[in-house]
Amino acid sequence: TRDEYVERAGQIATALAEEATPYANGSGWTSTELAAAGAVIWYSETLLDRRIQAGEQHPVWNQDHGLARCGMQLHSSGLVPQDVWEKLVGHGSDSTHLCAQYGLRVIVAQAKQCGVFSGVRADRNRIAKTFASYASGGKCVPNDRDWQRADLWLKMMAKRPDHEKKTLPGYRRVGP
């Protein structure tokens, strides 16, 4: 139902906001920029469908032929150990937070790999490169889908009261 969807979206938003805070340590993007990036991926990959987060069979999507788990579509890797990967599914707060935590860990790692995380605020170009790397496992060359997702990220950020704040050289805001 619509009420369940709204409740699910609220749980995801809360998990992303809470789990983004440790990564906004003054060396990279703000917690708001990270949480918004996570929300775009979660929405774009699953439309917030509860069945995917629960690890259930979906009638259309196959979760990368069984290799991906949770709303962030995470694969077992060096960033997501197998034992954690196995715990990513479920409707509860714990699995939602775990999915957010490890999904954001992968976002930060991909942004760093593309050289777009440290010392500057996120923007459309940096986010698109990160989304490209997230989807491809390391290629920082955005395609049309990545640019569309970056535009969705921009729309989300434009709703924030702090989206106009500029980054000063050598200074990183730790807060949202």
Digit-coded pLDDT (tens) for 75-95: 889 999 999 999 998 888 999
Query: Residue 62: how many CA atoms within 13 Å on its side-chain side?
Result: 4
> Any idea which residue has 């060096």 for tokens?
78
Greater confidence (167 vs 96) lies with 96
pTM: 0.86
DSSP track, 76-112: PSSSS-HHHHTT--SSSHHHHHHHHHHHHHHHHHHHH
**CB-based contacts of 89, cutoff 8 Å, min separation 6:** 53, 54, 55, 69, 70, 95
Mean of the per-residue pLDDT values of the chain? 85
Query: Residue 94: how many CA atoms within 13 Å on its side-chain side?
Result: 4
Q: Which among 152, 128, 153 is positioned nearest to 141, based on CA atoms?
A: 128
pLDDT recorded at residue 171:
43
- Judged against a pLDDT cut of 70, whether residue 165 lies above it is answered with no
Strand partners, 74: 69
Reported as a pLDDT band with limits 50, 70 and 90, residue 117 is confident
pLDDT recorded at residue 176:
45
- Judged against a pLDDT cut of 90, whether residue 1 lies above it is answered with no
Greater confidence (120 vs 58) lies with 120
Q: Which two tokens stand for residue 19?
A: 């789990």
CA distance 63 to 58: 8
CA distance 144 to 165: 28
Q: Which among 42, 64, 44 is positioned nearest to 53, based on CA atoms?
A: 42
CA distance 169 to 66: 44
Average pLDDT over residues 14-41: 90
Q: Are 167 and 51 in contact (CB under 8 A)?
A: no
